[in-house]
Amino acid sequence: MYHLAEASNWPAIQREGLHCASTLLDRAGIVGKARRRWEQEQRPEHAALPNGAWIRDQRPMPPDALARCLVDMTPAQWYALINGKVFFWFDPARLNRQRAACSSRPQVVLTVDALRLAETYADRVALTPFNTGNARRRPATRGGATFVPFRTWLDSGWATEAALLGIRERSRSHPPVEFTVSGSIPDILTFAVDVRPLAPGQSFAP
């Protein structure tokens, strides 16, 4: 599976591993109202934190759209949930759609061993059935149960998502779209099988 990173963050990733947005805010010393703005509101633009780390925008997740598709959560709670996770794609085509959204900036693609990462971080791994970072164009119903713990998914597929969100259960053959790890993966490079720099506008080919 694949993770798309800003090339400007690559030196820090090599030193310290991958961090979710909330951990990046911790490391940048951002607290109080500024912290709530970064963590619990939509980020309309890609921006640099005071310590030099870059954090992505959340333009495809406007709060009005989220309010119409969330179950038992507010948009602020959803942003906080999303910001607490590191995301990976299983499908290179989806990665390239994300890459197109930041086409003017160089990127780095990490290809990682999904099974080894899942086994090592099983207690913090969750899978999702759709792109949770997009709430436009008939967005899927979502909530905390959208992130199905890895071991739960192995046992019962998407059953907990359906039961807790009140939606129709997806088939066991419905593949995961996102692989997520809560918090940080300081040893991410031990799971990497390929590292590929992408120039501005360049797409990824496995």
* Cβ atoms 39, 152 nearer than 8 A: no
Amino acid at 185: I
Mean pLDDT of 24-31: 96
Please state, for a pLDDT cut of 90, what percent of the chain lies above it: 96
C-alpha–C-alpha distance, residues 132 and 141, integer Å: 10
70-87 residue pLDDT tens: 999 999 999 999 999 999
Residues ≥6 apart with Cβ < 8 Å to 200 = 103, 104, 105, 106
pLDDT category, 103, cuts 50, 70, 90? Answer: confident
**pLDDT over 90 at 104, yes or no:** no
Q: Is residue 32 part of a domain?
A: yes
| Domain membership flag for residue 58 | yes
Q: Could you list the residue range(s) of the whole structural domain that residue 125 is in?
A: 2-198
What is the count of structural domains for the chain? Answer: 1
Tokens of 92: 């290179």
Burial string for 96-132 (b: 16+ CB within 10 Å, else e) reads bebbeebeebebbbbbbebeebbebbeebbbbbbbbb
Q: What is the pLDDT of residues 130-164, one digit of tens each?
A: 999 999 989 999 999 999 999 999 999 999 999 99
Is residue 203 in some structural domain? no
How much of the chain is in helix, strand and coil states, percent to nearest 5?
Answer: 40, 20, 40
20 in any annotated domain: yes
On whether the CB atoms of residues 105 and 204 are closer than 8 A, the answer is: no
